[in-house]
Chain A
Amino acid sequence: MKFIIKILKDFPAYLWSGWGSIASIFLFIALWDMGNQLYGDLVLPSPLETFNTLWMMLHDEEVLYEINITLYRAAMGFGLSLLLGSVLGLLAGFFATASMMSRPIVTILVGMPPIAWIVLAMIWFGMGDDTVIFTVVVASFPIIFVGALQGTRTLDGDLNEMAKSFNLPWHMKFVDIYFPHIFSYIFPSWVSGLGMAWKIVVMAELLATSDGIGASLAVARSQLDTPTALALVVIMIGSLMFIEYIILEPLKREVELWRS
């Protein structure tokens, strides 16, 4: 409880520190606007037109339905990889043999291009939710797995010994020694896993389904509707930024305070 109150208390100051990021986003949008002036509306619609399209889309029931579908798939896929990756990674980290064994397998998983997974998944599961969710899991699981594995592998032996000699109860050992260390490894991997899930879900939808943001993107492409395509991209980036900077980052700051 104390932890949550602290996060909420620091939240306004944290939000206020975001002005610099907002400034650089606007600088980027200005660059985008110049691109529009150089190459014309068809190649790169102006930011203003894109945001207007986005505004209209967000008032359209059908588009909201597509967004919900994509969110569901991304959340399912990411949730599964979070669970599997964290649990298996932590376990593998505790046993030297297991971590030695899992290394090459992870390399295979990471090395395989997601597009190849999509093709396989389409053959295995057909066109639908399962294909997308599977691809998301396959792509973000290894990232989280490696993070968790590193977290347990690098636990400080000296601290452990100290805890033993002071006869610390198991919950204190967990909360004060293991958790902060492991979390500082596993949390960034969750963030990158989430980013990966967000990108893969659109790609998989574009190729393997007839609904969701990815499918809408495919339709926009076939109709040369660049404003809609960009508006969809803005939705994806906007939601990712919201989750990463508004929800995850404040958590991370509080948890990693011990480092400084």
Chain B
Amino acid sequence: MSQEEKLRATNHYLYYPDEKNIQPHFAYGFRPLFLVLAPYMVISMLLWGLIFSGGITVPFIGDTLTWHIYEMLFGLLTAGLLAFLSTGLPELFPGLVPLVGKELKNITILWLLGRLSFWTMGWTGVYLAAILNLAMLAWIIWFARHAVLDKLQRHASLGYTAVAIFLIETWFFSAQAGLVETPPMDILKVALGAIVVLILLALRRVNMEAINELMEDEDIDDVFISRPPKTNLALFAVIIFTIVEFFYPTSSALGWLGFAVSAGIIGITGEYILKDEKILHLAYVRYLASVYVLFAIGYALMGWDLLNPDIYGLNHFRHFITTGGIGLSYLVVMLIISTVHTGRHLVASWKTHLMVLLIITATFMRGLIPFFEEYTSALYIASTIAWTLPFIIYIKLYFEFLLRPRADGIKG
């Protein structure tokens, strides 16, 4: 390995903890989390499929659909968020010691316990699930406190959003426990808005790292800088939309706000048009751009629905945001981190194309159900399978990266 490559690899962190005998799958934050997250996505989708088709019954407290949405939003988020932060923060704040070894193992177990408490809630009660799941998010916020306490406040927005999500989750559990009156489904819609905010904030950073890495690999002599204004405009629109939706869920003003969010988010893709060089032909740039496009389609369709009295598809269209935008952002971030942070070059292949295309196909099948009502159940099944397949492929292709030491020989 050349000196220069070594230097680039160690850019990911300044210090590596002194712990002895760290196994490769606990050598860096994202490793164990992706090792449990990908199979969990597959298994839980299978379980949900069986539950909604009546194949099995799992006793939840109250409405099953609400808990399904909860789990798809918060359950997956905590693992994804910790993987992102524990990998990204040591890079953004050189001096922060990466999360590895025993501590990492414990936090992964906490996440698994959270999942267990979720599925066994019918017997163990809502309070245990609340405590374990909130503890996980609280721990993440504690871990990411450097971002909030940073004097320059460069990445503080991530921390503040995480705190907001923690409060929303507490609110949700309080509602489920009967401590507050708010309908849990309304709280989940607020949560979705907050999660979209978090993902847009995170993607801005992922974009910068991944695209500059790609450009270096491709010998493209330019720098990709994602400046805040475009993202901030989109964030502002998302926040306004979320607040208005909570208070006036059927207002026609919300319809126009949906279009505003859509335009704001699609506007972020303008950053991919550089002054001198072209990067839109790079596969990973297209993958990342697709996340924004799916979000934008979702909000635009919701806006259209709210302004058009003849369409009843609001919650179907919302799947462009959840199944589509959020699902694809998980997949693409998993692909990028699992490759770059195991010391490999980011290379796209027909397999990665297929994974991304499957998520997009699943999204269209799920989101456009209102237009093909006669095929509803077939579309449900097909979209579930199409959405799960990429994560099965991920397990097949990327688990060996996660289970072995870095390809370039350095620690982490």
User: How far is B253's CA from A22's CA once the two chains are assembled, in angstroms?
Assistant: 16
Contact B260 A26 (CB under 8 A): yes
Complex Cα–Cα for A13 and B269 (A): 11
Q: Is the CB of B253 within 8 A of A26?
A: no
The A interface is mostly helix, strand or loop, or mixed, namely helix
Contact bitstring A8-47, B, C-beta under 8 A = 1, else 0? 0000010011011011101101110110010000000011
Q: Quick check: which of B59-67, B213-221, B229-237, B340-348 contacts chain A, the rest being far away? A: B229-237
Tell yes or no: B28 within 8 A of A by CB.
Answer: no
- Is there contact, CB below 8 Å, between B267 and A27? no
Q: Are A33 and B253 in contact (CB under 8 A)?
A: yes
Contact for A23 among B234, B251, B269, B307, CB less than 8 A:
B234
Instruction: Check if B256 is an interface residue, CB within 8 A of chain A.
Output: yes
Q: Please give, as numbers and ranges, the residues of chain B lying within 8 Å of A29 by CB-CB distance.
A: 256, 259-260
B254: chain A residues at CB < 8 Å are 30
Docked-complex contact A20 and B273, CB < 8 angstroms: no
Whether the Cβ atoms of A19 and B270 lie closer than 8 Å is yes
Residues from chain A with a CB closer than 8 A to the CB of B259 are 26, 29
- Residue contact A16 to B273, C-beta cutoff 8 Å: yes
Type the 1/0 row for B181-215, where 1 means its CB is closer than 8 Å to any CB of A: 00000000000000000000000000000000000
Residues of A near B264 (CB, < 8 A) are 19-20, 23
Range for the number of chain A residues in contact with chain B? 10 to 19
B266 at the interface (CB under 8 A from A): yes
**CA of A24 to CA of B261 in the docked complex: distance in angstroms?**
9
Contact B257 A27 (CB under 8 A): yes
CB of A48 closer than 8 Å to a CB of B: yes
Whole-angstrom distance between the Cβ of B342 and the nearest chain A Cβ: 35
Q: Given A24-B233, A27-B237 in contact, is the A19-B263 Cβ separation under 8 Å?
A: yes
Residues of A within 8 A of B260 (CB): 23-24, 26-27, 29-30
Given contacts A26-B259, A27-B240, contact A20 B267 (CB under 8 A): yes
Q: Within 8 Å CB of A17, what residues of B?
A: 267, 270, 273
B252 contacts the other chain (CB 8 A): yes
Instruction: Report yes or no: A16 in contact with B270, Cβ–Cβ below 8 A.
Output: yes
Partner of B230, one of A13, A20, A22, A26: A20
Given A19-B266, A23-B264, A27-B240, decide whether A33 and B256 contact each other with a Cβ distance below 8 A: yes
Q: Are B257 and A30 in contact (CB under 8 A)?
A: yes
Complex alpha-carbon distance, A24 and B262, angstroms: 11
8 Å CB contact of A19 from B251, B255, B267: B267
CA A161 – CA B36 in complex, angstroms?
74
Residue of A nearest to B261 (CB): A23
The size of the chain B interface, using a CB distance under 8 A, is 26
The smallest beta-carbon distance between A100 and chain B, in angstroms, is 44
Inter-chain contact B256/A23, CB cutoff 8 Å: no
Instruction: Report the separation of the CA atoms of residues A33 and B252 in the bound assembly, to the nearest whole angstrom.
Output: 7
Q: Please, how many angstroms separate the alpha-carbon atoms of A34 and B254 in the complex?
A: 9
Using an 8 Å CB-CB cutoff, how does the interface string of B254-294 with A read, 1 for contact, 0 for none?
A: 11110111111011011001000000000000000000000
Choose one: B233, B240, B244, B251; the contact of A20 (CB below 8 Å): B233
**B262 contact set on A, CB distance < 8 A:** 23
Question: B263 contacts which chain A residues (CB < 8 A)?
Answer: 19-20, 22-23, 26
A48-B240 contact, Cβ under 8 Å, with A17-B270, A26-B256, A26-B260: no
Residue pair A37, B233 in contact (C-beta under 8 Å): no
- Nearest-Cβ distance from residue B343 to partner chain A, whole angstroms: 36
Residues from chain A with a CB closer than 8 A to the CB of B267 are 17, 19-20, 22-23
B-side contacts of A33, CB under 8 Å: 251-253, 255-256
Determine the chain A residues whose CB is within 8 A of the CB of B230 once the complex forms: 20
Closest to B258 in A: A26
User: Which B residues lie within 8 Å of A16 (CB)?
Assistant: 269-270, 273
Convert A222-248 into 0s and 1s, putting 1 for each residue whose CB lies closer than 8 angstroms to a CB of B. 000000000000000000000000000
Which residues of chain A are within 8 angstroms of B270 by Cβ–Cβ distance?
A: 13, 16-17, 19-20
> Smallest CB–CB gap between B246 and chain A, Å?
15
B358 vs chain A, min Cβ distance (A): 27
* B273–A23 CB distance below 8 A: no
Q: Specify which of A13, A20, A30 is in contact with B256 (CB 8 Å cutoff).
A: A30
Query: Chain B residues with Cβ under 8 A from A37's Cβ?
Result: 251-253
A35 CB → nearest B CB, Å? 9
What residues of chain B lie closer than 8 Å to A19, measured between beta carbons? 263-264, 266-267, 270
With A13-B273, A30-B253 known, 17 other A-B pairs at CB within 8 A are: A16-B273, A17-B267, A19-B263, A20-B229, A20-B270, A22-B263, A23-B237, A23-B262, A26-B260, A27-B240, A27-B260, A29-B260, A30-B254, A33-B251, A37-B253, A48-B252, A48-B307
Q: Which chain A residues have a beta carbon within 8 Å of chain B's beta carbons?
A: 13, 16-17, 19-20, 22-24, 26-27, 29-31, 33-34, 37, 46-48
4 A-B pairs with least C-beta separation: A19-B267, A26-B260, A23-B264, A23-B263
Give 14 CB contacts A-B under 8 Å: A13-B273, A16-B270, A16-B273, A17-B267, A19-B267, A23-B234, A26-B256, A26-B259, A27-B240, A33-B252, A37-B252, A37-B253, A48-B252, A48-B307
